[in-house]
């Protein structure tokens, strides 16, 4: 792995474009640390913390949680040291991109991968997604089912769950929210010349090869 492999990676893409799926492979194969703001928020909800109680209804509606709150949560979970991070689900609007640049990236080298996909594919992908609540592995009942129904292949427990925001009407709102906020973020990174595009409609293995190539990890 060359020195470029040490840069931080930001994943941008619509709900269901496959950010989490690719992030988990980079974590497993290359030791990246995965910071997903969605996972951090869901963790707070499952703990029943004050923050979790505050954000639950926002998550269930598919709207965005406040910029300040998400930035605080991100910073609390991102102690750089020598770690290389994958940021998944942040930033999501221009204000977050600007704050992220100043308060988190702070001059470090980074690359932004934009998972481009036609929105029509997303509802089917997300309504059939299941996630292992124990080890976080991501499945799809149609395209990537577990070997035994309801049981995680990796940790062998019956913990496959559907996310509460993966219902069709909520998915549609999440996609609309994404479409109404993403363009200024893409323009911001184009201007910085760090934006790299991935065809997220390809097969998972093909996308992974592309990710490694683009990041110059293989």
Q: Which of 30, 135, 138, 151 binds ligand AP5 (CB under 6 A)?
A: 138
CB 197 within 8 A of CB 214: no
Using only C-alpha atoms, the chain has a radius of gyration, in whole angstroms, of: 17
Q: Which of 9, 19, 44, 188 binds ligand AP5 (CB under 6 A)?
A: 19
Q: What is the dihedral of CA 1, 77, 95, 46, to 10 degrees?
A: 120
Least distance in angstroms from the C-beta of 156 to ligand AP5: 19
Site string for ligand AP5, 66-105 (x = CB under 6 A): ----x------------------xx-x---x---------
Least distance in angstroms from the C-beta of 75 to ligand AP5: 12
* Cα–Cα dist 1/121, whole Å: 34
Q: Which of 9, 44, 97, 125 binds ligand AP5 (CB under 6 A)?
A: 125
* Cα–Cα dist 196/113, whole Å: 5
Among the listed residues 90, 35, 76, 60, the one whose alpha carbon sits nearest the alpha carbon of residue 174: 60
* Cα–Cα dist 178/175, whole Å: 5
The dihedral through the CA atoms of 174, 131, 39, 163 has a sign that is positive
Pick the closer one to ligand AP5 by CB: 21 or 215.
Answer: 21
Pick the closer one to ligand AP5 by CB: 111 or 162.
Answer: 162
Q: Which of 35, 59, 198, 215 binds ligand AP5 (CB under 6 A)?
A: 59
CB 111 within 8 A of CB 6: no
CB-based closest residue to ligand AP5: 38
The footprint of ligand AP5 (CB under 6 A) covers 13, 15-21, 36-38, 41, 58-59, 62-65, 70, 89-90, 92, 96, 125-126, 129, 138-140, 143-144, 165, 174, 202-204, 207
């Amino acid at each position: 792995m060359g020195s470029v492999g040490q840069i931080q990676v930001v994943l941008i893409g619509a709900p269901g474009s496959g950010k989490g799926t690719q992030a988990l492979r980079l974590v497993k194969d290359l030791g990246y640390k995965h910071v997903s703001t969605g996972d951090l928020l869901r963790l707070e909800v499952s703990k029943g913390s004050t923050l979790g109680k505050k954000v639950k209804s926002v998550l269930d509606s598919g709207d965005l949680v406040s910029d300040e709150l998400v930035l605080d949560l991100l910073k609390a979970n991102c102690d750089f040291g020598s770690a290389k991070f994958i940021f998944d689900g942040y930033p999501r609007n221009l204000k977050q991109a600007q704050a992220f640049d100043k308060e988190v990236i702070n001059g470090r080298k980074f690359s932004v991968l934009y998972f481009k996909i036609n929105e029509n594919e997303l509802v089917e992908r997300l309504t059939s997604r299941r996630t292992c609540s124990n080890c976080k592995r991501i499945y799809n009942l149609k395209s990537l089912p577990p070997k035994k129904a309801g049981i995680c292949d990796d940790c062998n427990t019956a913990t496959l769950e559907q996310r509460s925001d993966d219902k069709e009407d909520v998915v549609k709102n999440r996609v609309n929210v994404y479409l109404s906020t993403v363009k200024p973020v893409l323009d911001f990174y184009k201007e910085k010349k760090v934006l790299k595009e991935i065809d997220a409609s390809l097969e998972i293995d093909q996308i992974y090869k592309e990710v490694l190539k683009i990041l110059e990890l293989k």
